Structure formats: C-alpha cells, structure tokens
Amino acid sequence: MHTIHTVIGVPKISQEVLSENEATFTIDPLPNGYGVTLGNSLRRVMLSSIPGTRVTGVKIAGVSHEYATLPGVHDSVLDILLNLKGLVVEKPDSGVEWITLSKKEPGIVTAGDITEAGGIKVLNPDMYITSLDAGFSLDIQIRVEKNVGYASIEHLKNIEEDPNLLVVDANFSPVLNVKYTVENARYGEITNLDALHITIKTNGVMSPADVVKFSGKMLESYFALFNEEALQVGGEFIANIREVIEREKQEVKADLEKETYTPIEIMGLSPRTLNALVNGDILSIEQLAKCTEAKLSSIKGFGRKAMTEVREALAARGLKLLGDD
C-alpha cells in the first residue's frame, strides 16, 4: 500500500443498505487520486465482467416471427418477448438451458408459471408475461444462457440456426447500475485524502456485497500478473508491459465504440414505452437523448405517461431530451 497508510492506517469499508438489492459502500481514507483510480476500475469490472443468466431466445407454439399475434392471448408476441427479457433467473452452471411455460387456464400468465429445470431458479415469479382467455392455451420454450457481457441479436442468430427460435439480445451482467463519487477526506492535519462512495444495484442474483468481492478478486488476479517471474527480467519485462498497455488501449477503444450505441432495453422502461420507442426506430440511449419532445410525441402509442417515464430514466443517467432546459 501507499506509504501514507503508515500514518493514516488501513482504509476501512462501510456499507449502507439502501434496499434489498442496492447498497452504497464507502472506502476511506485513501491517498489523493486513489478514489478515482479504484472507483473507475471497479465500475468497469462490475458492468462488463460479472457473469449472469438471461433469456436469449424463445420458441412459441404456432409462431414463426416476432410480429405475430396469438388467438386468446392479450399481448402481441413482441410484447411477450420484451416481458421475458425482464425474467430474473439463477443458474448454477455456464452455458445454455431450456425451461418451459405451459398454460391452459384463463387468467394472468406470470414467471411463476414457468417450469424450472436444470437447477434454474426464477427469482421474480410475480413478473407479468401476458394474459390468456378461456378455451386457449400457451406453450413457450425459453432459452436461458449464463455468460458474460452483451450478446446482440446478430451474434445469437449466427450461432443458432433454428428458424423457429425468436432470438433476444441480452446483457448478462446481474449489475443494473453502478455509480461512484469521490469526496475530500481528512485524517488529523492531513486534508488531501479521498473518500470513495460506490453505489451498486443488482437484479437480485448477486448481492451488492458479493459484486464488490467478485470485482476485487478479478482485479487482484490481473494485478498478480505483474508479480510473475516472467516479468522480472529486463527486456522481457518491458516487452510484457508494452503488451499489457497495448491490450488495455484496445479494450478502452472497444469500450468507447460500444458505448456509442447503448441499447434502450437497459433503461428499465415499461414494456409499453419500450415497444413504442422501438416501433419509432429509436433503439439506443444516444438516439433517445437526441430526440425532442415533439418528435417523441409524434410516435404512435407514445403518450404523456411515457414522456414522463423517459425523462425520469434519462435524468437518472445525467441526460435529458434535446431542447429540455
């Protein structure tokens, strides 16, 4: 650690629980500049490198494309797909597993109607999927996958050749949001210290505390590379360091390119609002932030409630509609 810790002691970590799946962690005191260094590193790992399970495809009996409708089913196939994207499941192993939903009784269809298999556990059984009229049935096969990062529809179509599979893009991370702030801290007469506050919200598959532990261990495993014997000798050390730096530059570049197109699905909008935006060909947060109120109002099915919802979701990310004060 920094030599200043011989004076100020080892940093302490405290936790403030905000809700069941959200908490703020404070790490202090830290040497000047270390708040941003640690906060940025942890945030990147939490958002991009923690494995999670998501729905990546759906088969519905009698359906060959997402724009179809089903007799006796209140929601369109597209709305059902959007609802299933919100399914929160826990899966012990990596890879793909199939779970099924079969409903013959009239009424509301929820995630609790899904038949669990392969060690998979549904964590939000009350989630609405659709409603069913008397005399009709609904049979759905759901492809769930445990992976890391983001999988686009194009990528999934390349690895799945089943023409009856309705592919769904997926952000696998169980972390919904991470934000951090750095404040000034002091220890006696030493005033140029940092206090790092990092707030984490998850979907319930992992607790915020487990996310912190996982991210810390992952960073530790990479920093341990600098202690390898292969990195200790002269020119070989320099060559390896240059390779690490170049790889990091490429990762940063890739992240920046990826961040220019952030899917609106991760904003947590209601299915109705999300469906209206998709039908209006607004597919990313960047596109949404460039829209005016007038443009959104011209979209079919986009009303005042949706406008308020979008403004609140953008504000939560420090953004606003074009033309808003």
- 154-173 confidence digits (pLDDT tens): 888 887 778 889 999 999 99
pLDDT at 318 over 90: no
Does residue 325 fall inside a structural domain?
Answer: no
Q: Give the pLDDT band (50/70/90) at residue 253.
A: low
Specify the number of domains making up the chain. 4
Structure tokens given for 82: 């959007």
Shared domain for 123 and 65, answered yes or no, is: yes
Shared domain for 140 and 92, answered yes or no, is: yes
Domain encompassing residue 38 = 5-50+176-224
pLDDT at 243 over 80: no
Shared domain for 102 and 133, answered yes or no, is: yes
Percent of the chain with pLDDT over 70: 88
Residues 6 or more apart whose CB falls under 8 angstroms from that of 106 comprise: 132, 133, 134, 135, 136
Does residue 107 fall inside a structural domain?
Answer: yes
259-282 residue pLDDT tens: 456 778 778 888 888 888 988 888
60-69 residue pLDDT tens: 988 888 888 8
Residues 6 or more apart whose CB falls under 8 angstroms from that of 294 comprise: none
Structure tokens given for 75: 């929601």
Shared domain for 162 and 200, answered yes or no, is: no
Does residue 153 fall inside a structural domain?
Answer: yes
Backbone angles phi, psi at 15, to 5 degrees: -125, 135
Does residue 323 fall inside a structural domain?
Answer: no
Q: Looking at the DSSP assignment, which residues form a beta bridge with residue 196?
A: 27, 182
Q: Taking the CA atoms of the chain, what radius of gyration do you get in angstroms?
A: 23
Q: What angle do CA 140, 142, 144 make, to 5 degrees?
A: 175
Q: Domain of 185: which CATH number?
A: 3.30.1360.10
Does residue 297 fall inside a structural domain?
Answer: yes
Shared domain for 167 and 58, answered yes or no, is: yes
Last residue of a domain, one of 171, 195, 214: 171
pLDDT at 245 over 80: no
Does residue 322 fall inside a structural domain?
Answer: no
Q: Domain of 78: which CATH number?
A: 2.170.120.12
Shared domain for 180 and 43, answered yes or no, is: yes
Q: What is the pLDDT of residue 261?
A: 61
Integer Cα distance of 86 and 92 in angstroms: 19
Shared domain for 33 and 68, answered yes or no, is: no
Shared domain for 99 and 158, answered yes or no, is: yes
Shared domain for 160 and 213, answered yes or no, is: no
Shared domain for 216 and 234, answered yes or no, is: no
Integer Cα distance of 87 and 101 in angstroms: 13
69-121 residue pLDDT tens: 899 999 999 999 999 999 999 988 888 899 999 999 999 999 999 998 878 99
Q: What is the pLDDT of residue 237?
A: 43
Shared domain for 113 and 84, answered yes or no, is: yes
Written as one letter, the residue type at 203 is: N
Nearest Cα to Cα of residue 299 among 278, 316, 320: 278
Does residue 210 fall inside a structural domain?
Answer: yes
Shared domain for 69 and 147, answered yes or no, is: yes
Q: Write down the mean pLDDT value for the chain.
A: 85
Integer Cα distance of 4 and 10 in angstroms: 9
pTM over 0.95: no
Q: What is the pLDDT of residue 270?
A: 87
Does residue 232 fall inside a structural domain?
Answer: yes
Structure tokens given for 153: 């529809």
Q: What is the pLDDT of residue 67?
A: 87
